[in-house]
Amino acid sequence: MQLITDIVRHIRQELNKVVIGQERLISETLATLLCNGHALIEGVPGLAKTLTVKAVAEVLSTDFRRIQGSSDLLPSDILGTNIFDAATGSFHVHKGAIFTDLLLADEINRMPPRTQAALLEAMEERQVSMDGISHPLSPAFTVFATQNPVEFEGTYPLPEAQLDRFLLRIKVDYPDLPSEVEILRLHQEGSEASPLKQLERLPADSLAQARGDVAKVQVEPRLLEYVAKLTRKTREWPTIELGASPRAGIALLKVAKAFATFEERDFVVPDDIKAAALPVLGHRIVLKPEAELEGTTPESVLEQVTRSVEVPR
């Protein structure tokens, strides 16, 4: 337990050197990595989404690549393709951007559906098939996909079945006034010229060790029942058209275990589960049309659902 505590503390300390006022983004990014999942990041441009992922990759000594979503992006642009070599008379694999540790898929909702499906299949299977041959991806492979919650023209919204592939949806808000002043101060002093060079890196095997520690976090049977009751309640709620699946319950349990380690505990408490409920379940439920017309949000509904389920003692 001490190992993961030291790793998390070190990552936070290093990221706070370059990412100001985004503690929630940092925490949920770490949870995504520790749970071996993928995350959908929502926020307007300029809120340090890309910087955070690049900084985490730097601190963890992992590879990082970025792809820009566009309407003409093809699956082969991401996955790669087999290329014929005339000199040898054979094919060789030209690997795409997906063959990395941390992949930032910027504006995923601007990718056409076929390209989205290819990316999400690789996320699920953690391998790429080209001409019938499977190519495994990195054990550390993690996708952070971003989308702008304001601009919808020329986009292809992700279907619910594909949204369910993301462990978390991370909503990024503007920093508060003191944080924004600190950002300006760092810029004025020239500290942002090459911010990633000042970060102290961890050994390359740190992420794998931390993931092993998260898996060992203890969860009492009564808390397993609490997780199941929460997900089942979303399927019964009057304003919810489509509730959370059993896979959502597994995701909720995983993230709660990661949140427990952030508090330097090797066991889960109900507050860990409640803290994980919104980022884990918010993108997995579909509200009824009449509820949306009334201005109801997934956040407000999940808050009601959480309050309605008795907390185990």
Q: Average per-residue pLDDT in the chain?
A: 90
Residue 160 or residue 204, greater confidence: 204
pLDDT at 193 over 60: no
Q: What is the pLDDT of residue 192?
A: 54
- Indicate if 240 and 288 belong to the same structural domain: yes
Which positions ≥6 away from 216 have C-beta within 8 Å? 266
**Last residue of a domain, which of 194, 210, 226?**
210
pLDDT at 205 over 70: yes
- Indicate if 158 and 21 belong to the same structural domain: yes
Distance CA 15, CA 258 (A): 18
**Last residue of a domain, which of 210, 243, 270?**
210
Residue 133 or residue 38, greater confidence: 38
Q: What is the pLDDT of residue 235?
A: 95
Which positions ≥6 away from 12 have C-beta within 8 Å? 26, 30
What is the enclosing helix (H) or strand (E) of 40? strand 39-42
Q: What is the pLDDT of residue 117?
A: 87
pLDDT band at 120 (very low <50, low <70, confident <90, very high): confident
Residue 279's CATH number: 1.10.8.80
Residue 192 located in a structural domain: no
- Indicate if 109 and 34 belong to the same structural domain: yes
Distance CA 76, CA 72 (A): 11
Residue 298 located in a structural domain: yes
pLDDT band at 161 (very low <50, low <70, confident <90, very high): confident
| Total domains, the chain | 2
Give mean pLDDT, residues 71-91. Answer: 82
Per DSSP, the three-state class of 111 is coil
Residues of the domain holding 293: 217-308
pLDDT band at 125 (very low <50, low <70, confident <90, very high): confident
Measured CA to CA in angstroms, residue 125 lies from 118, 119, 160 at distances of: 11, 10, 18
Q: What is the pLDDT of residues 137-157, one digit of tens each?
A: 999 999 999 988 776 677 888
Give mean pLDDT, residues 218-228. Answer: 97
Q: What is the pLDDT of residue 58?
A: 94
Q: What is the pLDDT of residues 278-297, one digit of tens each?
A: 999 999 999 999 998 998 99
Instruction: Identify the weakest region by mean pLDDT among 20-29, 88-97, 228-237.
Output: 88-97
Give mean pLDDT, residues 269-277. Answer: 96
Percent of the chain with pLDDT over 70: 97
Instruction: Identify the weakest region by mean pLDDT among 30-34, 149-153, 178-182.
Output: 149-153
Give mean pLDDT, residues 261-276. Answer: 96
Of 29, 31, 107, 95, whose CA–CA distance to 66 is shortest? 107
Q: What is the pLDDT of residues 250-263, one digit of tens each?
A: 999 999 999 999 99
- Indicate if 171 and 49 belong to the same structural domain: yes
